[in-house]
Amino acid sequence: MIPVNEPLLNGNEKKYLNECIDTGWISSEGPFVKKLEDQFATKNNRAYGVSVCNGTAALEIAVEALGITKGDEVIMPTFTIISCASAIVKMGAKPVLVDSDLQTWNMDVSQIEAKITPKTKAIMVVHIYGLPVDMDAIIDIAKRHNLKIIEDAAEAHGQTYKGKACGSFGDISVFSFYPNKLITTGEGGMVLTNDEKLAERCKSLRNLCFSSKRFVHEELGWNMRMTNLQAALGVAQLERWDEFIGIKRKMGRLYTSLLKDEKKISIPVEKTTYAENMYWVFGVISEDKNVTAEMLMKKLAEKEIGTRPFFYPMHLQPVFKKMGLFVGESYPNAEKMYKNGFYLPSGLALTEVQIQEVAKILKSVLN
């Protein structure tokens, strides 16, 4: 079986975890937490890092810290993970969707301005599958309409837009350290910002809004703290940041060379004017209307190849339909991507031989 994802944990992970146990520092009070926050912020050219228990929590804290609340609207892609929309909905605000661009698979930036109303407070940008959104266009719109930018870089660790780190563009930027992300802490996430007040607000929200008078609370927060055990893993993983980026790019280039002449599928673009793909995962979209992702994934599973479907667009989610959201809306590109798209084994432990095997089997299944 070739798994869809397998992380690499063969650096200093064990050593640092043992350090936690030997010293007794296992909670969020331990020294690796601050270390990871500082190192991760520096790596991404940001002033402040606030670690949290997962990427979903990072999004929730980001939305709340920006003061987004009942009656507000946030523009975001329909093609993304539920965490993006649920963070907005849980604050009583309304997600306003845009379709995807079939070239980059990212949000179609040209659809944003038509969606702006007096209620719009922010744009939530999500870099999909390792290729950045066109940030200059986003920044221009945000400036002209006085909107905040929430940047979800969970799938773009180590990626750059015109040479600047993804995760360095948002008023608040968020990352996940789930095991399929470039670096992992098992479960974990990070909020990055250059704004000291926002960073303090995130820290407070993450920690039950404790005030200077212990156990006296002026506001309600959450317990979304990261443990020292998680951060220990993160510090070890971060040491291999550049190596991991290299592995992803190499993997993507090999898949590309093996699959680029296959007319029945489209594969990720190699580069745009502003970035080179870093192939966080290697997606494929069937270009034959009658051959769905579900059919191909089933055939690949029979040959012991692990895959994952693409995201199910937000406007089709039963939970949001029940809330009366997105009634009658349709986003054909995102719908096509969901229906015909899935991704191939893309983990850091994947070998070249395995990639060749996956490409060979995919081709035989297609033809």
Q: How many residues bind ligand PLP (CB under 6 A)?
A: 13
State yes or no: residue 346 binds ligand PLP (CB under 6 A): no
Give the residue from 203, 211, 255 showing the smallest Cα distance to 49.
203
Which whole-number Å values give the CA distances from 317 to 101, 123, 127, 141, 311, in the listed order?
20, 20, 21, 28, 11
Residues in CB range of 255: below 8 A, 6 or more apart: 267, 279, 282, 344, 355, 358, 359
State yes or no: residue 83 binds ligand PLP (CB under 6 A): yes
Q: Which of 25, 40, 169, 178 binds ligand PLP (CB under 6 A)?
A: 178
State yes or no: residue 179 binds ligand PLP (CB under 6 A): no
Output phi, psi for 309, to 5 deg: -70, 160
Per-residue binder mask for ligand PLP (CB under 6 A), 56-75, x = binder: x-------------------
> For residues 344 and 285, is the Cβ–Cβ distance under 8 A?
no
Q: Which of 55, 234, 306, 341 binds ligand PLP (CB under 6 A)?
A: 55
Q: Which of 101, 155, 171, 335 binds ligand PLP (CB under 6 A)?
A: 155
Beta pairing class for 73-77 and 120-126: parallel
Which whole-number Å values give the CA distances from 330 to 79, 187, 313, 326, 327, in the listed order?
12, 33, 10, 8, 9
Kindly tell me which of 83 and 104 has the beta carbon lying closer to ligand PLP: 83
Least distance CB 182 / ligand PLP (angstroms): 11
Q: Could you say which DSSP state residue 215 is in?
A: T
Q: Which of 152, 161, 346, 350 binds ligand PLP (CB under 6 A)?
A: 152
Kindly tell me which of 128 and 199 has the beta carbon lying closer to ligand PLP: 128
The interface region with ligand PLP, picked from 78-86, 115-123, 194-202, 270-278 by CB under 6 A, is 78-86
Decide: residue 93, CB within 10 A, 0-12 exposed, 13-18 middle, 19+ buried: buried
State yes or no: residue 150 binds ligand PLP (CB under 6 A): no
Contact residues: ligand PLP, CB under 6 A: 54-56, 80-81, 83, 126, 152, 154-155, 176, 178, 189
